[in-house]
Amino acid sequence: MCGIFACHNHPDVVKFKPTALKLSKAIRHRGPDWSGSVTCHNTILCHERLSIVGVESGAQPLTNADESIILAVNGEIYNHRLIRKNLKEPYHFKTTSDCEVVIPLYMEHGIDVPKYLDGMFSFVLYDKKLDRTIAARDPIGITTLYQGWSSEQPGTVYFASELKSLHPVCDKIESFPPGHVYDSATGERTRYFQPTWWDGQKIPQKPADLKLLRETLEKAVRKRLMAEVPYGVLLSGGLDSSLVASIAQRETLRIKKLAEAANGSAEETVDPDKGEGLVGIDDENNLSTMTFLPQLNSFSIGLPGSPDNKAALEVAKFLGTKHHVMTFTIEDGLNALSDVIYHLETYDVTTIRASTPMYLLSRKIKAMGIKMVLSGEGSDEIFGGYLYFHGAPDKAAFHEECVRRVKNLHLADCLRANKSTSAWGLEARVPFLDKEFLEVAMNIDPQEKMITNERIEKYILRKAFDTSDEPGAQPYLPDQILWRQKEQFSDGVGYGWIDALKDQAEKHVTDEMMKNPKPEWGSDIPDTKEAYWYRLMFDEHFPPSCASTVMRWTPKWSKQTDPSGRAIPIHKAKYADA
């Protein structure tokens, strides 16, 4: 991930530049490899770079030949090679960066540019000739982006990857909505992403095509291996991350065979000093110059004896990945909480519980020289995998909740994955949120996703990768993992983690405090001591103007107010009072 900060139509941009550079520096953790800025007319674009593709030549902001178009991007454009091949007009590319294709696309399609991008991205582009700024965010909001305004400068608009770059100069801040594009010419944001499944009221009728489901997920993982740096997979031992790891490992082995066929031996493609080679795949599944690791690295974290670490080890052994287990103590987690909330920029209970171990693990991963990881976010929203979906009354309600959860991922799991990893200059990619895969999975008749006595949660996803009735087929996962009950990450790292958070909150928040919440909180009143404690820590870092970007949630169809999966009675290790 990278970090961007931009300001359009500032009354004195030259005087503002030192402040802009300082605000950009506040998110340098997202992009520690290089910093850049361009000032033009009344606009400034700043960029903090994490180099993944086009490592040597892709410094930003990027410009076209006459430097009349300036671009700052955070993200990865997976179809950049196809875009380069299919441009209507010849364009001289200055870099090999995947992000540079946004400029010629803008020159050909104007504000419609994000419709042509397949990837995760947030960008701000300035057209000098038109004195026009456009900004856009990827369809689901995998990357983070915020928009801000100042009452002291009503005509000025700000953009940044994180709140911490905006709140010092803005008194109004909004989370930039996913799937939208902003145009300074109109001052409006418009939705460009309009998939067939977006209206949750229209119930899909298509039966599940298990073969297509498998193939599109495999393709989604494959395209996300685009990198020129060492990468790995986050492996909790749950279904979603295990499937991603399995597909990535298969692809690693497939590329190795291609390399052997193309070069005579795999060793010829490997740099003995770096332990890596320069083979990979392009859009047609042909070899191209990309980093290939002889062995796929996988990573898990948990308290000593945690369910996730145990399952992850089992999966890693089955797949043959080079696995790294990290254990953390409850004290480690508690000590990190304030920093976690500073980086997350939220006070949502579920997000903080799950982000803390992910934050700790990301630091270890980056220290090992890994810069990109694949992760399993999105699957539970798409397939209704959370245990509270057991309580869905009918398929219409089930589907409506799936759509609602996918639409809100940018405020929940996508935010967690992005900011927990970006805190240490690590990039997380999420294959389940691939546009093509979403189009397939979200248009399946929700009756086939519903949980019954015969069908465990995410049954059709499990069945799509069940090769037991395919003679001679290599299993993707061991049966006990393929059919393992859903375990939310904050539970799976060790049941003592959430229990400790609740106990600690009791020490910091009194009954009297619960009765007298802060007046500035308005109607957004914490309903538990744990939630109250997190809100207090959030307030230490951010002013009240930032609170409107936070969403808190609790499960539907359940009497439990605690968002933990273990609070749902069907959980095998449920709370005693559930």
Whether residue 344 contacts residue 351, with contact meaning beta carbons closer than 8 Å, is answered with: yes
pLDDT at 272: 30
Q: Is it true that 3-191 and 210-245+296-316+329-470+482-567 share their CATH fold?
A: no
pLDDT at 273: 34
Query: Over the stretch 158-186, which tens digit does the pLDDT of each residue have?
Result: 999 999 999 999 999 999 999 999 999 99
Residue 301 is assigned to a ligand binding site = yes
- Tokens 């010629």 correspond to 104
Closest by Cα among 116, 102, 374 to 226: 374
Q: Which of 53-67, 90-104, 345-359, 417-431 has the lowest mean pLDDT?
A: 53-67
What are the DSSP E strand ranges found in 356-425? 372-374
- Tokens 């909480």 correspond to 337
Q: Is the dihedral of CA 400, 245, 375, 141 positive or negative?
A: negative
Q: Say if residue 155's pLDDT is above 90.
A: yes
What 8-state DSSP symbol labels residue 532? H
Whether residue 139 contacts residue 179, with contact meaning beta carbons closer than 8 Å, is answered with: yes
Q: Where are the domains of the chain?
A: 3-191, 210-245+296-316+329-470+482-567
Q: Say if residue 262's pLDDT is above 80.
A: no
444 DSSP β-pair partners: 206
Q: Say if residue 489's pLDDT is above 90.
A: no
What 8-state DSSP symbol labels residue 566? G
Instruction: Give the side-chain half-sphere CA count within 13 A for 474.
Output: 7
Q: How confident is the model at residue 255 (pLDDT cuts 50, 70, 90)?
A: confident
Average pLDDT over residues 120-135: 98
pLDDT at 258: 79
Phi, psi of 7, deg, nearest 5: -140, 125
Token pair of 461, please?
């996803």
**Distance (Å, whole) CA 494 – CA 90:** 56
Residue 98 is assigned to a ligand binding site = yes
CATH architecture of 210-245+296-316+329-470+482-567: 3-Layer(aba) Sandwich (3.40)
Residue 483 CA: distances (Å) to CA of 70, 323, 383, 487: 49, 22, 15, 12
Instruction: Say which residues have a Cβ less than 8 Å from residue 476's Cβ, sequence separation at least 6.
Output: 243, 246, 247, 250, 465, 467, 482
Token pair of 471, please?
């003679």
Whether residue 489 contacts residue 563, with contact meaning beta carbons closer than 8 Å, is answered with: no
User: In which region does residue 179 sit, left (phi positive, over 0), alpha (psi from -120 to 50) or beta (all else)?
Assistant: left
Closest by Cα among 479, 480, 465, 457 to 398: 457
Q: What is the DSSP string of 50-91?
A: --SSSTTT--SSEE-TTS-EEEEEEEEETTHHHHHHH-SS--
Mean pLDDT, rounded, of the chain:
91
71 DSSP β-pair partners: 62, 125
What 8-state DSSP symbol labels residue 319? H
Q: How confident is the model at residue 267 (pLDDT cuts 50, 70, 90)?
A: very low
Classify 103 as helix, strand or coil: helix
Query: Over the stretch 234-246, which tens digit does the pLDDT of each residue have?
Result: 999 999 999 999 9
Closest by Cα among 382, 356, 364 to 504: 356
For 329-357, b where at least 16 C-beta lie within 10 A, e where not — what string?
ebeebeebbeebbbbbbbbbbbbbbbbbb
**CB-CB neighbours of 576 under 10 Å:** 4
CATH 3.40.640.10 fits 3-191, yes or no: no
What 8-state DSSP symbol labels residue 200? T
Start-to-end CA span in the chain (Å): 40
Label each residue of 328-373 as H, E or C: CCHHHHHHHHHHHHHHHCCCCHHHHHHHHHHHHHHHHHHHCCCCEE
pLDDT at 281: 52
Work out the angle at residue 177's Cα, subtended by the Cα atoms of residues 148 and 13, and round it to the nearest 5 degrees: 25
Residues belonging to the active site = 2
pLDDT at 275: 36
Average pLDDT over residues 62-68: 96
Q: Say if residue 276's pLDDT is above 70.
A: no
Q: By 3-state DSSP, what share of the chain in percent is helix, strand and coil, each rounded to 5?
A: 40, 20, 40
Classify 459 as helix, strand or coil: helix
Whether residue 373 contacts residue 421, with contact meaning beta carbons closer than 8 Å, is answered with: yes
Whether residue 111 contacts residue 123, with contact meaning beta carbons closer than 8 Å, is answered with: no
Secondary structure element (H or E) that encloses residue 246, with its range: helix 239-263
Average pLDDT over residues 308-318: 95
Give the pTM.
0.93
